[in-house]
Structure 1
């Protein structure tokens, strides 16, 4: 769900990346004030109402939300037993709304623009020895690693199915970790070759 920028000319596409990140941060901070199911419904409705501003097709919206259900549904079932349905509604609804808003930002903003904003925000940290460009590089690598890990997971899942081991967690987790560590070593070697070994 990260780095899925869709080119366009919508009002949200034209909005500066800094303003969108500030809005997302404000929504995140404001979400702690959401305390009732009614407020949660309004928060989710607001996040959904913003989707047409970014001209997000319904199919894309459904594709974004579907994987989240694998987390939200078990979370809801677990939380209902401990904190009740009202608090669970708030918890699950707030997570859903924030994910919708975060995806809207990534769909309407180039990753490079988002990283430029973070680098600009980190410039004052030079005084304490933090290089903003390195922060940007780390963030860029982290964002790039999300689809890489998804690709690795898909490859391991295909190999697992070919061997008839669909139900074996070990047959999935161990090869995925080994391949991820090999990929991390390769990335580290590439960075070291470019003088970024520290």
Structure 2
């Protein structure tokens, strides 16, 4: 199962909507929630987005979309409960939850290639100031590729750590992970140079 919010094959309605339209909806919903600043509206929006996952056949991906920000939301809620009030805590947390879940829905129903093509088209006007749109697409593609690469490097280091019978904090794996990522980056750079990409 996809755990990093990338494309999940499907045929429901959001798969047939262009990437640009989905991003505009995402931007519009987040903007409206921030401008209104109403905790009940924000809660309703978060609940509506939760219902969209099973409606579009993505119920199994709802938890994976929400889990990465759960601890962060708990910290934000505790902060506001201590320093402001419960209403503000509900409003801010529900706004964040709605935005994250809606963004997860967009990424799960939009092919990476479609998203990159959109950003490349959006960057075309910048050609006048020396920006190369195809490079923008390349940078985004490499960024997206590096997300699972970091996760895989962490898993590999963790398995090696446990296989040696070691125990202790996760901080002990930071150096091996960084070394693996540097090696991967060097290999990627060499491959790009070999293909004439500077």
TM-score where L is the length of structure 2: 0.87
TM superposition shift of 1:180: 1.6
Q: Quick check: 1:36–1:90 contact (8 Å CA) kept in 2?
A: yes
Q: Are 2:7 and 1:5 aligned?
A: yes
Look up the SS of the partner of 2:123 in the other structure: helix
- For the residue of structure 2 that corresponds to 1:4, the secondary structure is coil
What pairs with 1:47-196 in structure 2 (closer than 5 Å)? 47-56=49-58, 58-196=59-197
Q: Which runs of 5+ in 2 are unaligned?
A: none
- CA distance in 1 between counterparts of 2:190 and 2:138 reads 15
Alpha carbons 1:149, 1:180 under 8 Å: kept: yes
- Verify the 8 A CA contact 1:21 1:105 in the aligned structure 2: yes
**Of 14, 18, 21, the match for 1:19:** 21
Count how many residue pairs are aligned between Structure 1 and Structure 2: 196
CA distance in 2, matches of 1:142, 1:166: 32
Gaps in structure 1 of 5+ consecutive residues: none
1:3 deviation in Å? Answer: 5.5
* Post-superposition CA distance 1:83-110 (Å, at most 9, x none): 3332222222222111111111111111
Structure 2 CA distance for aligned equivalents of residues 161 and 34 of structure 1: 50
Once superposed, what is the RMSD of the aligned Cα atoms?
2.1
Paired with 1:166 and 1:67, the residues of 2 have a C-alpha distance of 24
The structural deviation recorded for 1:169 is 4.0
User: Does structure 2 retain, via aligned residues, the 8 Å contact 1:13–1:54?
Assistant: no
CA distance in structure 2 between the partners assigned to 1:22 and 1:81 by the alignment: 35
